Structure 1
Amino acid sequence: MFVSAISSDHFGNFLQMYNLLKRHWPKQKVLLYSLDLSDTQIEKLKEDENIEIRKFNYKKYPKYVENWAEYRFKAVILAEAIREFPNIWWTDSHNRWLEPKPLATFYEEIAKCQGDVDCDKKSSIMMFVNSTHSNYAVLTEGLLDYFPTFNIDTLKYNDKGLQLSAAFVYLARTQFTLEILKWHTLCALEEKCMNPPNAKLKCDSTPEWDKYAGCFRYDQSSLNLLMFNSFRNHNHYFMDVGKVTRTYDHY
């Protein structure tokens, strides 16, 4: 199941992203969570039988989950969806999967790796987009109060500590995935974990490698640190699934 979530100002972004998916997989189902879509927008989406729309239920969670700029909703939705579906592809509406690797090929590579002692990609969570900076560059220290790590220096460089985008993630329902999502969701529900003191999205400088850029990536920083703590090397959960780009416009 492909899963995404949008607010009303990302309606056009989702349609463009979905049309690309539909071009490659005409019958692919997509579960879309509405953060605040209008009735008109929802009715428009319902014209396509392969789009299932659910309104995100804020009442189940602390009030600060409603602050979209902290991206807590993404962790919560992943936790909800993995209970229902054994395999999930999370995709932000900004993603443009232009030239996808066939899904059958991806699954074959994952399966083959499980039985190969020399294969280092045995994670049931896979990420696909290079954020072009280290984990350290966007690591607001308050997150370490909740998820301490074994070696800060390793987080500073691209050989093992590269930050990967949380905008496009594959998850299979395994004990490992459930354990990661447990802590990721708890972080989202704890006010100062996914929004540490002094955290902000806009950086003071361009994020690079061994210098803190004065910014934070919220759910992306949380998920990356949990994955890094499990493998100590991002290459264990970083795979190629074809050409993926991103638009930064909202429409």
Structure 2
Amino acid sequence: MRFRLSNIFIIFPFIFTIFIFVKFKNSSTNFDEKESQVISIPNECVCESKKTGKLYNFCYNLPENKQKRGKRFSCKFLDFWERFEESKSVDIKTDQIPNPVFVTAFSSGFISNAVRMISSIRKLGISMKIVIYDLGLTPDDNNILKQACNIEIRKFDFSIFPESMKELREYRWKPIVIAECLADFGSIWYLDTSVVLEKSNISHVYDLINCQKENIERLPLLPSFQRDIREKTEKHEDGWNKDIWLRNLKECRKSSYLLHGYSGHGILSVTNPEVYNWIPSNFEELRKEKAKMYDAGFVYAVNTKTIMLDIMKWYVLCALENSCMGPENSSLICSFENDDRFKKYAECHRYDQSIINLLLANANFYDRRYYVSEIVDFFHIKRNGNLNVNNEEMQCI
């Protein structure tokens, strides 16, 4: 059949109609997506990316009650945060968890402690990379550290952060260091220089996370009052209690951000109340003994989507917000009334440690058993004492 020019006038309106429909449908889809984002994020919490136009919720919502939310963190921090949110996450059920690297950060006054910490790792025959963040090291310090094997020294760039970041004793740099290394490596051990490693085989810690790979029928989560009783009646962690470890494997509810060393008090007693303006909580649960605080300076963490979005996001944003991580007039000196270490505020604040424990407790039933390893047979904390170590001990065996 021969094509006639007159057919164009018959076909054209039909083609044009289809074109307009498809174009409108695509535009409508994009509009609907953006509109749905606005609907799901309260107006007072929205931050919009200058790069992508994506909308972000910058108000922390209490996991058990999404209507309870904190003040919006500043949108000026969005560009910095975005790279972490877009980092490649690990799906523990399907992915192989990357081999962790060791990460630490310190200034010149802690060089002897750092040498001891590095030596404790190398003397065990562990050759994994150690990433060191320079918070103010001298050329001599760097010459000492360069004698160690398999290390990477990164200069912490204070110039891109608020001035408060330079107050090293507020530890605002720590969430930044941890977030960067989780994004870069997928799995890390963060260690303050006071940590001394004692055991090379720490697979029993990894098992607490790796159990999620198995299709097991988990033990049910006990109600809060039964976990209160458990906390009061069971012995606190001491070494490696294999009965508790086996139960934890069967429950398989451990966070992929694990703390290890108990600090000797609860979270509420050493957290400045101003923090709750940004990160609300359930005070009834937070006063209980199972909401214990653990050292923020020794961590095993995996970059899962849950950890990055539900924990690290708020840990980082709080560090960047002056009145969140270090509210005005915060003090490290505590006054525990009648030696009550849980129920009453002791007029002190633990900066990064208060924040990460609060976030982990909120996300894990206010029960330390779900955000700590409960295993303490592979390290000890030594903040002072004999620092007479040989630099050659930092070499790989």
**What is the TM-score normalised by the length of structure 2?**
0.59
Give the match for residue 333 of structure 2.
202
What is the alpha-carbon distance in structure 2 between the residues aligned to residue 242 and residue 19 of structure 1? 18
Q: Which residue of 2 aligns with 1:249?
A: 384
1:174-224 Cα deviation digits (max 9, x unpaired): 001111111100000000000113311122347722222211010011101
> Which stretch has the larger CA shift, 191-200 or 214-223?
191-200
d(CA) in 2 for partners of 1:228, 1:105: 23
Task: Indicate how the Cα distance of structure 1 residues 171 and 226 shifts in structure 2: closer, same or farther if over 3 A, else same.
Answer: same
1:225 and 2:358 are equivalent in the alignment: yes
Stretches of structure 1 that go unaligned for 5 or more consecutive residues are none
Amino acid across the alignment from 1:231: N
Larger RCO of the pair (alpha carbons < 8 Å, separation 6+): 1
1:138–1:75 CA distance, 2 compared to 1 (3 A): same
Is residue 170 from structure 1 mapped to residue 300 from structure 2 by the alignment?
yes
For 2:321 and 2:298, how far apart are their aligned partners in 1? 24
Q: Give 4+ residue runs of structure 1 displaced > 6 Å after superposition.
A: none
Cα distance, 1:120 vs structure 2: 4.3
Asked if structure 2 preserves the Cα contact closer than 8 Å seen for 1:201 and 1:216, the reply is: yes
Aligned residue identity for 1:51: I
| TM-fit CA distance, 1:101 | 6.6
Q: Tell me, yes or no, if the aligned pair for 1:34 and 1:55 is still in contact at 8 Å.
A: yes
3-state SS of paired residue (1:132): strand
What's the counterpart of residue 181 of structure 1?
A: 312
Question: Cα offset for 1:113?
Answer: 4.5
Deviation at 1:31, TM superposition (A): 0.4
> Cα gap change, 1:33/1:62 in structure 2, threshold over 3 Å: closer, same or farther?
same
Q: Would the aligned equivalents of 1:101 and 1:241 in 2 still touch at CA under 8 Å?
A: no
**Rounded Cα–Cα distance in structure 1 between residues aligned with 2:343 and 2:213:** 34
What SS class does the counterpart of residue 177 from structure 1 fall into?
Answer: helix
* Larger CA Rg, structure 1 vs 2: 2
Cα offset, 1:132, TM superposition? 1.3
Letter in 1 for 2:119: N
* 8 Å contact kept, 2:261–2:376: no
Overall identity of the aligned pairs, in %: 31
* 1:157 counterpart = 2:288: yes
State whether residues 125 and 200 of structure 2, in contact with CA within 8 Å, keep that contact through their aligned partners in structure 1. Answer: no
Q: After TM superposition, list the pairs within 5 Å mapping 1:103-182 onto structure 2.
A: 103-115=202-214, 116=216, 117-118=218-219, 119-149=251-281, 151-158=282-289, 160-179=290-309, 180-182=311-313
3-state SS, counterpart of residue 353 of structure 2: helix
Deviates more, 1:78-87 or 1:23-32: 23-32
Choose from 359, 363, 369 the match for 1:235: 369
Shift of 1:243: 4.1
Moved more, 70-79 or 26-35: 26-35
Higher share of residues assigned helix: 2
Counterpart mapping for 1:8-157 below 5 A = 8-98=108-198, 100=199, 102-115=201-214, 116=216, 117-118=218-219, 119-149=251-281, 151-157=282-288
* Conservation of the 8 A alpha-carbon contact between 1:6 and 1:35: yes
Q: In the aligned structure 1, how far is the partner of 2:125 from the partner of 2:175? A: 26
The DSSP-based 3-state class of the residue aligned with 2:193 is coil
Q: How far apart in 2 are the matches of 1:26 and 1:111?
A: 21
Q: For 2:304, give the aligned amino acid.
A: T
Measure how far apart 1:122 and its partner are: 3.3
- The unaligned stretches of length 5 or more in structure 2 are 1-100, 220-250, 388-397
Q: State the AA in 1 paired with 2:371.
A: Y
* Cα separation, 2, equivalents of 1:235 and 1:74: 23
Amino acid at match of 1:170: Y
Q: Call closer, same or farther: CA 1:189–1:207 in 2, change over 3 Å.
A: farther
User: For the Cα contact (< 8 Å) 1:120–1:236, is it kept in 2?
Assistant: no
Letter in 1 for 2:369: N
Shift in alpha-carbon separation, 1:141–1:47, aligned structure 2, 3 A = same
Offset from partner CA, 1:37-83 (integer Å, 9 cap, x none): 00111022112232211111111211110110110000111111111
User: Do the aligned residues in 2 keep the contact of 1:121 with 1:235 (CA within 8 Å)?
Assistant: no
TM-score by length of 1: 0.92
Contact 1:137 1:211 in 2 (8 A): yes
Q: CA–CA distance in 2 between the matches of 1:134 and 1:147?
A: 17
Output the amino acid matched with 1:102.
Answer: N
**Structure 1 residue 114, shift from structure 2 partner:** 5.0
